[in-house]
Amino acid sequence: MAGSGYVRADPARCSSRPPRSALPPPLWNHNIHYHSLVLSTVPDGCQRGLDVGCGEGALARDLRQVVPHVVAIDCDEPVVGRARQADGGAGVEYVTGDFLTYGFPPASFDVIVSVAALHHMQPAAALRRMRQLLRPGGTLAVVGLARSRPRDLPADVAGVIAHRVLLRGKSYQQVNAPTIWPPPQTYAQIRDIAAQELPGVRYRRHLLWRYSFTWTKPATPPATPPGRTTPTPSPGRRRHFIGNVRFSAPICPNCAHINHEKSRVEGNGRR
């Protein structure tokens, strides 16, 4: 009817659409669930990104939608081969190699991301390497696994419930890459390592047996490397050995020699 606003549907167009029930359920697992969290940390104007421990490349391809140039590295050659096959023209640069030793130039990435990979490496060394490769002002976003302790039981139980709820209407995608279980470090250990290597890091514990932390590299590097302090010698005392006896001698305040008159024996051997 003219002017009624009613538009008759085109039968040919409607028949070409598959019914909703015929569409395959979306793929999902505990790692994919946190991809959106990682992508939300990408800074504005980001030009180069790095995915550490990329696996089959799902996160790297998602990252490529918001970052012009993405490099994805993994040490497992068959896994990287499957990532290249699944790329579908996304334009990700896949690299096979050891992240800790691969020849990336320092300060060459605006964002570095990693999901479920940190526990495959020595965490402190990996975080130092990530810190080195970030440009000043760049962002690091990590989602990882850690080992539970008895105190983590409430979060683990909540994770079981969340898994069952979130899986509804989805198809669980198995991880087709090498796995390590249980993870070597506990949640508390990972939190402490991150705090030491990345001053000001924001750490969070999540459901589904995951943690995350994000960190922005300062525009001006700190004067003292994170985790290190300048040793301060004990004032007013020098130590020396005679035989197996250790002496501690106060220093004369008016000259640089040892005041032997006040020397005293501190112990019966080296410690």
Question: Looking at residues 110-117, what average pLDDT do you find?
Answer: 98
My answer on whether 70 and 140 are in the same domain is yes
Three-state SS annotation for the chain = CCCCCCCCCCHHHHHHCCCHHHCCCCEECCCHHHHHHHHCCCCCCCCEEEEECCCCCHHHHHHHCCCCEEEEEECCHHHHHHHHHCCCCCCCEEEECCCCCCCCCCCCEEEEEEECCHHHCCHHHHHHHHHHHEEEEEEEEEEECCECCHHHHHHHHHHHHHHHHHCCCCEECCCCCCCCCCCCCEHHHHHHHHHHHCCCCEEEEECCCEEEEEEECCCCCCCCCCCCCCCCCCCCEEEEEECCEEEEEEECCCCCCECHHHCEEEECCCC
Q: What is the pLDDT of residue 17?
A: 56
CATH number of the domain that 209 lies in? 3.40.50.150
Residue 226 lies in a domain: no
Token pair in block for residue 6: 């009613």
**Res 250 pLDDT > 50:** no
Residue 64 lies in a domain: yes
Q: What is the pLDDT of residue 176?
A: 81
* Banded pLDDT at 24 (limits 50, 70, 90): confident
Question: Looking at residues 75-89, what average pLDDT do you find?
Answer: 94
CB of 86 closer than 8 Å to CB of 64: no
* Banded pLDDT at 220 (limits 50, 70, 90): confident
My answer on whether 74 and 155 are in the same domain is yes
Question: Looking at residues 194-198, what average pLDDT do you find?
Answer: 98
Q: What is the pLDDT of residue 25?
A: 86
My answer on whether 242 and 207 are in the same domain is no
**Res 80 pLDDT > 80:** yes
My answer on whether 52 and 109 are in the same domain is yes
Q: What residues have CB less than 8 Å from 219, skipping those under 6 apart? A: 136, 137
Q: What is the pLDDT of residue 256?
A: 40
- Which of 3-7, 36-40, 180-184 is least confident? 3-7
Residue 8 lies in a domain: no
Q: Domain limits at 186?
A: 24-216
* Banded pLDDT at 177 (limits 50, 70, 90): confident
pLDDT digits (tens, 9 = 90+) for 125-163: 999 999 999 999 999 999 999 999 999 999 999 999 999
**Res 46 pLDDT > 70:** yes
- The reported pTM is 0.74
pLDDT digits (tens, 9 = 90+) for 221-230: 656 555 555 5
Residue 118 lies in a domain: yes
Residue 222 lies in a domain: no
Question: Looking at residues 18-37, what average pLDDT do you find?
Answer: 83
My answer on whether 255 and 128 are in the same domain is no
